[in-house]
Structure 1
Amino acid sequence: KLHWQARRFADRGKPFNIENPAGNVVAGLNCNQNDLSAAIGIVQLKKLPGIIANRRKVGKTIKEGLTKLKAVSLGWQTPDSECVYWFLRLKLDIDAISVDKKTFCDALTAEGIPVTESYRHIFCEVPWFINKAVFGTSGFPWNCSDYKGPREPQFKIDNVIKVGDTHFNIYMHENYGQREIDDILTAVEKVENAYLK
């Protein structure tokens, strides 16, 4: 029992050895490193500026290529900010197409595009938050005398849910070139044209 609890905590509360979980079951750290991982990480940190620059170039090129489409666009970005594009979050105008988001994303996947239809990772929806099980059954931090927030926290997250319902992600890589960019844009345009009202 203790082994599984430790493993869950060490990997962000993932529900290892739990049947039918609804998400991460405890709040936990991301302690999945060893000496080899740390050595690789140090090398990767030196490469990071180039990786970021390449991802920005790919993301901006795809963003510009999407401007001619009617139902698909890049998701909102904070004004005067620069995105790293670890993945492309695309907005789908559901009212402009004749199918649901899942069908649209399945069609993109069939075209060979790496798509995630849903990226709904909302802390207040995970079991450890709902059950106040950050640290076992202690109820901490909500029952701590120093805690000044609500004891029964409820969050109105309508905008978060709306974005989740109308957006999807396309995975990308910093080594993508014009061919991969064209493949993504061609596939998105093809699927949009097939399902546009």
Structure 2
Amino acid sequence: MSKLAILGGSPTVTGSVSPFITVGAEERQAVCDVIDSGLLSGFYGSWSEEFWGGPKIKALETAWIERFGCKHAVSVNSNTSGLIACMGAIGLTPGDEVIVPPYTMSATAMAPLFYGGVPVFADIRDDDFCIDPSQVERLISNKTRAIIAVNLFGHPARMHELRKLADQHGIHLIEDNAQAPTATEDGRYTGTIGHIGVFSLNCHKHIQTGEGGICTTDDDDLALRLQMIRNHGENVVRDTNTADITNLIGQNYRMTELSAAVGVEQLKKTDQLITPRIELAEYLSAGIGGLSGLTVPQVRDGCRHVYYVWALRMDPDVLGISRATFVKALAAEGVRVSPGYLSPLYKLPVFQNRHAIGNAGFPFTLSDRTYENVSCPVVERLQNHELIMFEICAYDYSDEQKAQIVAAVHKVHDNLAQLQDLDLAEQ
């Protein structure tokens, strides 16, 4: 039995690891074509054909509609901007409540604050790490205006169940689909099941434009409002017989022609970029799934997981060591993992202090919701003790290194007794 690297042995994973590069000659040529055209942004803020953007923006949005089968696609300059625009599009007003998960990037919970909305945190499930519909239902009140569900790590939340719940209560369901492009639930793409879906094209995602995002919807009025908010909609004068766009303040959430040109090429490559990530995740799950005390990512029946993150759960009681020691041992073997994801968002000072905008505590002064004693035991357990993250989208491993990663986990698992002594010494 080989000696653990953390105890002086040789690391299992050898060689340098390259970043996973998604851009190439096609994107380079597309950007050069835009530069040669001289039109780096085709947007005008005034009411004209250019209000909707330039040729590359329109090409990207059309291609997105065709790829994902939605009625409307509205490009924006980030997923965060898209989430904020969603809050305006649904007509969120000060004091309205929006139910959100606590385990996600902060933008999900920050978006309602821009319109005076009050986030309410619902616990997640430990099988898919996504918001739990039963907890959402418990928190719905007469102030609830929307639910934001995150398809975290690339696996769908229980979107059809959440959509049914939203429709029953007359509220909107927003999908934060930043980490799950081409994931599906019961044959439907995530990002197209809620009233609005928001995709990320950030440089760390499966497909990217550096920064960028796409909002999708089948609702004509929501699409119009998203387009207004994206491009200084308060400047637009429309026929009074058309959709009501009053009480709507616009922003500059516009994507450039350069980014859109990259997006068009990235969208063509979607399958060839995502399929290897799925294959790597499935390889890891097959190689590690039989080890006691470890739970590899679960894929719910009828779902497609696209693995932004390969999320391993460990049971410290079964393994007899802390997660911290287990992760240190894996890292010493050359496995790039990290303990936990993010601290639950309700622990952020903005919520603990109930102080977001101005000096008087707005918008929390409009609500009796508090955050000191939020009960989300599942997310606390996962974050503090169980979850181990392996970033599928970040690195490009050779076949040899993939086998070495699996061997490294087995090596650490086979030497738990040695680690128990180390664990006690570090406590």
Question: So what's the TM-score if we normalise by structure 1?
Answer: 0.71
Q: How much does 1:63 deviate?
A: 0.9
Q: Deviations over 1:63-89 (max 9, x none)?
A: 111122112221444443221111211
Give the C-alpha shift of residue 161 in structure 1. 0.9
Q: What does 1:138-157 align with in structure 2 at a 5 Å threshold?
A: 138-144=360-366, 150-153=368-371, 154-157=373-376
2: distance between equivalents of 1:42 and 1:115? 32
Using the TM superposition, give the Cα deviation of residue 106 of structure 1 relative to its aligned residue in structure 2, in angstroms. 0.6
Indicate which of 66, 74, 84 corresponds to 2:288: 66
2:404 match: 183
How far apart in 1 are the matches of 2:263 and 2:358? 32
Is 1:160 the counterpart of 2:379? The answer is yes
Q: Give per-residue Cα distances to partners, 1:90-146, cap 9 Å, x unaligned.
A: 0112122232111110111111111111213321111112122333434333334xx
Change (3 A) 1:131 1:46: farther
Q: Distance in 1 between matches of 2:289 and 2:264?
A: 38
What aligned pairs does 1:85-100 form with structure 2 within 5 A after superposition?
A: 85-100=307-322
Q: How does 1:95-134 map onto structure 2 within 5 Å?
A: 95-134=317-356
Partner of 2:151: none
Higher RCO, Cα 8 Å, sep 6+: 1
- The code of the aligned residue for 1:152 comes to T
Alignment partner of 1:82 is 2:304: yes
**Correspondence for 1:52:** 274
CA change 1:54–1:43 in 2 (3 A) is: same
Q: Which amino acid aligns with 1:169?
A: M
Change (3 A) 1:44 1:136: farther
CA–CA separation in structure 1 for the residues paired with 2:415 and 2:358: 50
> Per the alignment, in what secondary structure is the counterpart of residue 312 of structure 2?
strand
Work out whether residues 105 and 117 of structure 1, in 8 Å CA contact, stay in contact via their aligned partners in 2. yes
Distance 1:136 1:59, change over 3 A: farther
- SS of the residue aligned with 1:61? helix
- In the alignment, is the contact (CA less than 8 A) between 2:355 and 2:364 conserved in 1? no
In structure 2, C-alpha distance between the alignment counterparts of 1:79 and 1:141, rounded to whole Å: 40
What is the letter of the counterpart of residue 345 of structure 2? F
C-alpha displacement of 1:188: 0.7
Structure 2 length normalisation: TM-score? 0.35
2:157 equivalent in structure 1: none
Quote the offset at 1:184 in angstroms.
1.4
**Among the aligned pairs, what percent are the same residue?**
25
Q: Deviations over 1:7-33 (max 9, x none)?
A: xx99xxxxxxxxxxxxx7x94799994
**Alpha-carbon distance change, 42 to 140 in structure 1, aligned in 2, over 3 angstroms:** farther
Describe the SS at the equivalent of 1:134.
coil
Cα-Cα RMSD: 3.5
Question: Hey, what does 2:413 align to over in structure 1?
Answer: 192
8 A contact 2:284–2:406 mirrored in 1: yes
Between stretches 170-179 and 63-72, larger displacement belongs to 170-179
Question: Contact 2:294–2:313 at 8 Å: present in 1 too?
Answer: yes
> Which SS does the other structure have where 2:365 is aligned?
coil
* Residues 108, 187 of structure 1: 8 Å contact kept: yes
Size of the alignment, in residue pairs? 174
Residues in 2 aligned to 1:140 and 1:47: alpha-carbon distance in whole angstroms: 44
Matched AA of 2:266: Q
Assess if the C-alpha contact under 8 Å between 2:350 and 2:356 holds in 1.
yes
d(CA) in 2 for partners of 1:113 and 1:184?
Answer: 6
CA distance in 1, matches of 2:262, 2:355: 34
| Cα distance in 2 for residues equivalent to 1:79 and 1:133 | 42
| Counterparts of 2:295 and 2:361, CA distance in 1 | 42
1:9-20 mapped onto 2 (5 Å cutoff): none
Out of 156-165 and 41-50, give the one that drifted further: 41-50
Are the counterparts in 2 of residues 132 and 139 from structure 1 also a CA contact under 8 Å?
Answer: yes
The structure 1 segments of at least 4 consecutive aligned residues displaced by more than 6 Å after TM superposition are 28-32
Distance 2:300 2:365 in 1: 36
Q: Name the one with the larger strand percent.
A: 2
- Where structure 1 has 5 or more consecutive residues not aligned to the other structure, the ranges are 1-8, 11-23
